[in-house]
Every structure is written in C-alpha cells, then in structure tokens.
C-alpha cells in the first residue's frame, strides 16, 4: 500500500520501492508484469530504465489518470488492462513469458482516502467498497445476505472476535430499515461490541476489512492470481509479492513453500522430498522483507507490509488443486451468494 505525502501535489509512496527494484534489477531490462498498477509507482520506476517493458493491470478504473500519464511518457513500452489479476493468463497472449511479476496487494491510499467509496469507516457515503469489476457491493452484502454468512465473513476474513454479536445486530437493524450509509454500520458495530480488545486499531477496522475482502473476493483473486502467474513466468524469473494482512501472507507463504523444496515442511500431510523431485520454485528461502524504520516513519501505512519473492524453475508441471484444497474454507466462503 502507499500513502499520499503531505505535499499538496499528492505525490505517491509505493511501499518498499527500493527493495522491489533491487530484486527485479530493471537496469538490466526485461518484460515486467505489474498486477496492481494503482498510481503506477513501481511501473514508472521500472520504465525509467530504457530496456524495460511493462504490462500492467488494475481492476479499478479510477487509475485511468495515471495510466494515461504513463502511456504518454513511455508509449509502446507500456500496456495497460483494466482487468482482475485472476485473469492474467488470458491477457498475456501468444504464450509470452515474463521476467518479473509484481503484486502489491490490498487497497491504495487513493481508494481509502476517497471517502465517497465507503472503504474507510471514516466515510460519510454509502456502503460500497467495490474496487471495480465486482459482482456485489458492501450494501448488498449487509442488507441481503444471511446472518450465518455475515458472521462467517467477519470471523474468518476479519478475525473479529465478536462477529456473532455484530451480525445479529445487523440483522435486527436492517429489519427496521436498510443499512445504507457507512456511519450507520459503524454505529451498529459500536453498539454490538462488548469490549474493545485491540486499542491500537479502531473498533470497526476488522469488520471493514472483512467486508472489503468479501466484496472484492480478495482471497480467491490472490489464489487464482498466484496460480496463473506461475504459468506465465519465465524460468529464472521472479514473483514478488507485498501483503498487508495475515491471511494474504499465509497464502503466499504456503504457495512458495509448498511448490518448492520446502514442501514437506509446509504440511505434515506431505511425504518427505527426495532429491530427484523437481519443484516450481528454486531455492526458496522463506525470507520476509519488511519496510525500514525510516520508511515506516515516513509512511505509517507501510508498517504491516511483508515482501516475499520466489524464483521460477524450469519445471513445467504443478498441481494447483493442492493450493485450492488447502484454502478451501476461504474459497467456499467467498463464493457464497446468500
């Protein structure tokens, strides 16, 4: 995630920019895929090196202004698609393989600071939370879905301890009148909670995170995105991923470990490896890179960021079903429509 600096020009702060550039060495050139363009922080930095090309995507049409600026400057070296990254394999035509794939997950400051989109519990607007290319909004979830699903969403996707009390109160209140605006939901959450367990974050933070993840199907997007990324990455190429919450990090960690030599360590159900076996990722070290103290002091939003990366081997086969099975509980939940 990035934040806007205090400058009136609204400059942007892509998280761990230096660390990402160190890993993908744009000075050496190559074909890059930026799966989360946002306002183009990484893409523009990469394109400032002459022998690079970037294909970028973002599901949010609000990125258009930044896309046009980048296009004007870098012309044919830059291509953009307003698509979800779960579909990257359909976008990259003619079996093109790329050298680096970057995911900077979550929402951008541009999204959260736009108080008309309902991402923040500080919004005064309608309950929306759609990043773009969605099937439902926050309003539809809160007003049409059953108590059980709302409870499961708050519990599993938000790790909200008082999910049951909140979902019960939502159902009670919506019987009186539809819950349309963000402040109405914030009030319901406040009234339902017995205890403010975590004084460091707002009482509504976890519920809002859960609703946003569900509305944008963020877990399904990540799982499909990773599987498809592995298919279009060149041997020797890298996937670089920045996550912002524990569910995302758990998925990325499992993906890299499970499809590398660390496989047997990732689950007690898998047999030990033998040396003949080939893996999708080479020499995966399970290393996590975090923002420096300096970066956190300049951009507090970066404090929960974790960067992981892995290098693709020549192996062409892997079984994505194992990944889907492991995270079935999230996938099943995100696919509910009642």
Q: Where are the beta strands (DSSP E) in the chain?
A: 3-4, 12-13, 30-34, 52-57, 78-81, 98-104, 233-243, 281-282, 306-312
- Neighbouring-strand partners of residue 101: 33, 239
Q: Which of 16, 55, 56, 57 binds ligand SAM (CB under 6 A)?
A: 57
On the 0-12 / 13-18 / 19+ scale of CB atoms within 10 A, 180 is middle
Whether the Cβ atoms of residue 189 and residue 207 lie closer than 8 Å to each other: yes
Query: Which residues are within 8 A (CB) of 124 and not within 5 positions of it... i.e. 6 or more apart?
Result: 115, 181, 182, 183
Q: Where are the beta strands (DSSP E) in 279-319?
A: 281-282, 306-312
Phi, psi of 100 (to 5 degrees): -140, 140
Whether the Cβ atoms of residue 116 and residue 123 lie closer than 8 Å to each other: yes
Q: How many residues bind ligand SAM (CB under 6 A)?
A: 23
**Residues numbered 103-132 forming contacts with ligand SAM, rule: CB under 6 A:** 104, 106-108, 131
Whether the Cβ atoms of residue 233 and residue 240 lie closer than 8 Å to each other: no
Angle at 218 between CA 306 and CA 197, to 5 degrees: 65
Specify the residue, 203 or 219, whose C-beta has the smaller distance to ligand SAM.
219
Specify the residue, 12 or 263, whose C-beta has the smaller distance to ligand SAM.
12
Q: Would you count residue 38 as binding ligand SAM (CB under 6 A)?
A: yes
Specify the residue, 15 or 186, whose C-beta has the smaller distance to ligand SAM.
15
Q: Which of 19, 58, 99, 128 binds ligand SAM (CB under 6 A)?
A: 58
Closest approach, Cβ 110 to ligand SAM, in A, equals 7
**Residues numbered 224-263 forming contacts with ligand SAM, rule: CB under 6 A:** none
Q: Which of 32, 33, 52, 60 binds ligand SAM (CB under 6 A)?
A: 60
**Residues numbered 204-223 forming contacts with ligand SAM, rule: CB under 6 A:** 221
Q: Would you count residue 54 as binding ligand SAM (CB under 6 A)?
A: no
Whole-angstrom Cα Rg for the chain: 21
Q: Would you count residue 333 as binding ligand SAM (CB under 6 A)?
A: no
User: For ligand SAM, which stretch binds (CB under 6 A), given 39-47, 189-197, 230-238, 264-272?
Assistant: 39-47
From 249, 235, 138, 253, select the one nearest 186 (Cα to Cα).
138
Q: Which of 14, 26, 138, 237 binds ligand SAM (CB under 6 A)?
A: 14
**Residues numbered 127-166 forming contacts with ligand SAM, rule: CB under 6 A:** 131
Closest approach, Cβ 192 to ligand SAM, in A, equals 29
Whether the Cβ atoms of residue 106 and residue 96 lie closer than 8 Å to each other: no
Residue 273, both tokens: 């490896």
Specify the residue, 1 or 233, whose C-beta has the smaller distance to ligand SAM.
1
Q: Which of 85, 119, 255, 281 binds ligand SAM (CB under 6 A)?
A: 85
User: Where are the alpha helices (H) located in 56-162, listed in sequence order?
Assistant: 64-74, 88-91, 109-112, 138-144, 147-152, 158
Specify the residue, 70 or 266, whose C-beta has the smaller distance to ligand SAM.
70
Specify the residue, 129 or 179, whose C-beta has the smaller distance to ligand SAM.
129
Closest approach, Cβ 67 to ligand SAM, in A, equals 11
Specify the residue, 41 or 158, whose C-beta has the smaller distance to ligand SAM.
41
Closest approach, Cβ 23 to ligand SAM, in A, equals 14
Torsional sign, CA 185, 334, 85, 281: positive
C-alpha 252/C-alpha 212 separation (Å) is 19
Specify the residue, 14 or 237, whose C-beta has the smaller distance to ligand SAM.
14
Closest approach, Cβ 293 to ligand SAM, in A, equals 21
Chain residues in the site for ligand SAM (CB under 6 A): 1-2, 12, 14, 36, 38-42, 57-60, 63, 84-85, 104, 106-108, 131, 221
């Amino acid at each position: 995630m990035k934040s806007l600096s205090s400058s009136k020009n609204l400059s942007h702060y892509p998280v761990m920019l230096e660390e990402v550039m160190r890993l993908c060495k744009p000075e050496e050139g190559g074909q890059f895929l930026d799966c989360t363009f946002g306002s183009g922080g990484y893409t523009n930095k990469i394109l400032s090196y002459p022998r690079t090309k970037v294909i970028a995507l973002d599901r949010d049409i609000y990125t258009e202004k930044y896309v046009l600026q980048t296009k004007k400057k870098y012309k044919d070296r830059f291509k953009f698609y307003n698509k979800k990254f779960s579909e990257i394999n359909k976008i990259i035509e003619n079996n093109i393989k790329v050298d680096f794939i970057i995911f900077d997950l979550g929402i951008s400051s541009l999204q959260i600071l736009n108080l008309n989109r309902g991402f923040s519990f500080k919004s005064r607007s309608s309950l929306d939370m759609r990043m773009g290319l969605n099937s439902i909004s926050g309003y539809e979830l809160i007003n049409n879905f059953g108590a059980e699903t709302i409870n499961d969403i708050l519990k599993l996707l938000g790790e909200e301890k008082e999910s049951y009390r909140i979902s019960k109160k939502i159902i009670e209140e919506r019987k009186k009148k539809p819950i349309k605006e963000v402040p109405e939901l914030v009030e319901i959450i406040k009234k339902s909670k017995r205890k403010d367990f975590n004084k460091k974050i707002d009482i509504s933070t976890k519920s809002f995170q859960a609703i946003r993840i569900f509305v944008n199907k963020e877990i399904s997007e990540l799982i499909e995105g990773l599987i498809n990324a592995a298919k279009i990455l060149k041997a020797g190429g890298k996937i670089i991923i920045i996550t912002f919450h524990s569910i995302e990090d758990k998925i990325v960690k499992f993906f890299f470990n499970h499809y590398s030599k660390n496989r047997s360590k990732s689950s007690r159900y898998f047999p030990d490896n033998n040396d003949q076996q080939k893996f999708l990722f080479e020499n995966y070290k399970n290393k996590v890179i975090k923002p420096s103290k300096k970066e956190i002091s300049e951009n507090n939003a970066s404090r929960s960021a974790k960067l992981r990366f892995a290098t693709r081997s020549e192996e062409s086969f892997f079984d994505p079903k194992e990944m889907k099975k492991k995270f079935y509980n999230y996938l099943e939940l995100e696919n509910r429509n009642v």
